[in-house]
Amino acid sequence: MKPNAPYTETPSQGNIQISVEAVKIRVTGLVQGVGFRPHIYRIALINKIEGWVKNSTSGVQIKAIGQKELLQKFIRDISDLAPSVAEISKIDVAVSTRNGEQGFKIVASSGKQQEITEVSPDIAVCDDCLLDMGNQDHRIDYPLINCTNCGPRFSIIKALPYDRRQTTMDIFPMCRTCAAEYSDINDRRFHAQPVACNVCGPVYSLFSPEGKLIDCENLPKHTAQLIDAGNILAIKGTGGFHLACDALNAETVNRLRTGKLREGKPFAVMFPNIDTLSEFAFLSTEEITTLTSWRRPIVLLDGKNKLPATVNAGLSRIGAVLPYMPFHFLLFRHLSTKAIILTSGNLSQEPVIIDPAQAKEKIGSVFDFMIDYNRDIHNRTDDSVVQHIEGSIQIIRRSRGYTPKPIALNFETEGIFATGAELKNVFCLGKGNQAIMSQHIGDLKNLETFTFFTESAARFSDLFRFEPKLVATDLHPDYLTSEWSRKPGLPVECVQHHHAHIASCMAEHKINEKVIGLSFDGTGYGTDGHIWGSEIMLCDLAGFERLGHFEYLPMPGGDKAITEPWRMALACLYTVYGNNLPFAALKHFNFLNQQEIEMILVALEKRINITLTSGIGRLFDAAASLLGLCQKPGFEAEGPMRLEACATEKINDFYPTTIDKGGMIRVNGIIDGIISDLQKGIRKERIATRFHNSIIEAAASAISETNISSMPEKVLLSGGAFQNCYLLSGLSKKLKEMGFQVLTNHQVPANDGGIALGQLAVAAARRNKSCV
């Protein structure tokens, strides 16, 4: 039996007993756009079943009439023989009667119900279609080939049910050959909505930056020649434009970085296959499985330092992705280089571009040529990003290949709209016992991104027939989402940021009891008006009690301390030493003049423009600055990332910390230990490792010293800091040794991209509690 395919009427599908000869069946889950109706048709013929199958907004509906034993086998075959991409959530069976049905038919879709089925994410091109590009006369080298098992789905859908007329393929009439395939039950393209070929389908074209069409006989070959020659190309992908160039050409990569306004953030790199990728990165079995899966995300891997340093900003890890569109495979057929940069086609902090006119306007100065195809993208999606920690997958950015697959929950969510966080925004709709997460939206402080948020919220509401009754949003009163949530005039539930992190983990693991939650990140508005970010909580979905946290540290200049982490380093030194700073050990601070240092010290002494933070991210910033790893970051979390990359020593020792009666963890011992090691000339790799060990030991000690009458069995770890592999692995191991069951996020990001799920869960729990 396929996993994740429960039968609702009996404990086990193997025990299904059908005592009637006619039933109505409803199958819910990811069952549209994945070849499910042809699958039902085929198993109906095999089992001599009469009746019909159709798509509806609430799932796939089936009327089945046949001999009892064959009917029983037919129902088992629904899940046992389902298409590989399909994911069945539930099979409902009800008694029916024969009503003159003869034979088995696929009938027209219906779409009036408020209940909805899942919408398929976009699916990487399948091996069969790649073979067809070389074998089928009308699809020789067709760069947009697809079938029922692969191709665009979410990016082209405009409404449910999923039919061609409801997608951006509606303007492309099928030729006779494609129409025959579409109508042939024995064909792999039977009812494949985006089906197309060289005769009738959308086409790629090459343009100059000015928009002039460039005629070329073999577009993929010409594109490869342009990339090998050092050009930067804007190439339309599944969910938006990419910017592409030769990843081994450092000069071109630097030109791309400058033009994209992306100072230091690592670029994603596409490799033609696993064999080539293995020359540049270390690969585990689990990572290979994810890289080659139909979702085809970017996977963070340990690199072998064979790419130019400018590709990944000198970090040891690389973001690798394999080809997932037919055009990618055609391109690598002709490329001389072994790898290309494939980064989102936008300016830094703005949404990925989907319109060629906007591409020319916004990034026309960045690329040398543009490759577009004439099928519209209705729903933009960035590439998803994941990593593997201790063999388990962790999603960092949830978008193409994952969106809009819902998260199954064990509580009612109907009508709740969760706005998500200000940064790394993803919003969430509540439908029945599901949470439908949006694609990655981005940082809402940017006007273009906030417009993307409002546009996508409207489209999701329409697509999924969502009627909002309650809005869940962040506790921070000044976030754009907080202001937006008050406009519809609906009840608003404000949810504390770090409680939402833990609630997201509780929701995806279907946990109802109280847990210990560790929510570690950089920023979140606390109930005391300060910035939180190292929270140890006793919580359930409805509420929380703050048990402990790392001590509040001053942020001189407020948010400026995030972009200039040396300010946090000085603040930590002032907290420990006062005005007697140990500058003899601070050789990495020679870029500052005495006047700048004195200005910060005066601000700290007189509390001028000072914000208090317990965010663990700021403590990581300070440590990275003290070690000279990052003084002026070129991208978010650069300091903590470089500090993690530096923690390579195989040691267990750590710096001491103390814990106040109120659960506040004092960092004096950590800062003093770092300074002492610097004065002794200890290698920064050892210091970075000791720092990480210190955070792990302090957090574990804080939990063991909490005064709880009945200690929960489960500890949940969530928040952006737990994307740090060393921190997550080390703390998980420590807590398991203490007897706890440790859980973290896997279906949604642990970072702010998962906040909306937590907001939804908290709002649902409070609403359900108030109704009791």
Residue-wise pLDDT tens digits, 552-570 = 999 999 999 999 999 999 9
State the CB neighbour count (10 A cutoff) for residue 160. Answer: 23
The confidence score (pLDDT) of residue 7 equals 33
Pairing of strands 87-95, 22-30: antiparallel
Residue 329 has pLDDT above 50, yes or no: yes
The dihedral sign for the CA sequence 460, 462, 464, 465: positive
Give the pLDDT band (50/70/90) at residue 162: confident
**In what side-by-side order are the strands of the sheet with 534-539?**
658-659, 664-666, 544-550, 534-539, 515-520, 714-718, 741-744
* Count of C-beta atoms within a 10 Å radius of residue 94: 10
Average pLDDT over residues 170-194: 93
The whole-number average pLDDT for the span 45-55 is 92
698 contacts 549 by C-beta, under 8 angstroms:
no
Query: Quick one: what percent of the chain has pLDDT higher than 70?
Result: 96
Give me the mean pLDDT over the 168-191 stretch. Answer: 94
Residue of 348 and 565 predicted with greater confidence: 565
3-class state of residue 425 by DSSP: strand
Tokens matching residue 239: 């969910």
pLDDT score of 282 more than 60: yes
Angle at 311 between CA 309 and CA 316, to 5 degrees: 60
Average pLDDT over residues 726-746: 97
Taking 50 as the threshold, does the pLDDT of residue 662 lie above it?
yes
For residue 496, pLDDT beyond 70: yes
Q: What pLDDT sits at residue 256?
A: 96
pLDDT at 119: 87
Q: Please state, in angstroms and rounded to a whole number, the distance separating the CA atoms of residues 325 and 256.
A: 23
- Statement: residue 533 has pLDDT above 80: yes
**1 band by pLDDT with thresholds 50, 70 and 90:** very low
Task: Examine the pLDDT at 89 and tell me if it is beyond 90.
Answer: no
Taking residues 600-612, report their average pLDDT.
94
* Residue 173: strand, helix, or coil: coil
Q: For residue 99, what pLDDT band results from cuts at 50, 70 and 90?
A: confident
Mean pLDDT, rounded, for 318-341: 98
pLDDT confidence tier of residue 732, bands split at 50, 70 and 90: very high
Query: What per-residue confidence (pLDDT) applies to 405?
Result: 92
pLDDT: which is higher, 220 or 483: 220
Q: How far apart are CA 411 and CA 434, in angstroms?
A: 8
Q: What is the pLDDT of residue 86?
A: 87
Which of 112-126, 259-273, 285-299 is most confident? 285-299
Query: What does the pLDDT read at residue 64?
Result: 95
Q: Where does the pLDDT of residue 272 fall: very low under 50, low under 70, confident under 90, or very high at 90 and above?
A: very high
Average pLDDT (733-757) is: 97
Question: Is 682 a residue whose pLDDT tops 70?
Answer: yes
> Looking at the predicted structure, is the pLDDT value of residue 10 above 80?
no
8 Å CB contact between 741 and 713:
yes
Report residue 3's pLDDT band, with 50, 70 and 90 as the boundaries: very low
Our CA angle for 667, 609, 587, nearest 5°, is 50
User: Residue 539: pLDDT above 80?
Assistant: yes
The whole-number average pLDDT for the span 656-684 is 95
Tell me the C-alpha distance between 310 and 305, whole Å: 11
Q: What is the mean pLDDT of the chain?
A: 92
The answer, yes or no, to whether residue 5 has pLDDT greater than 60, is no
- The dihedral over CA atoms of 763, 765, 766, 771, expressed in degrees to the nearest 10, equals 120
- For position 209, what pLDDT does the model report? 80
Confidence of residue 211 (pLDDT cuts 50, 70, 90): confident
Query: In 306-426, where does DSSP find H-type helix?
Result: 326-334, 356-363
Q: What is the mean pLDDT of residues 183-199?
A: 92
pLDDT for the residue 232: 98
The label of the residue with tokens 């790893």 reads 629
pLDDT exceeds 50 at position 717? yes
Q: Would the pLDDT of 11 be above 50?
A: no
Residue 117 pLDDT > 70: no
Residue type, 471: V
d(CA 545, CA 543): 7
The distance of Cα 223 from the centroid of its chain, to the nearest Å, equals 30
Q: Mean pLDDT over residues 489-507, rounded?
A: 97
At residue 205, the pLDDT reads 97
pLDDT tens for each residue of 301-325 = 999 989 999 999 889 999 999 999 9
Closest CA to 85 of 131, 53, 43, 39: 39
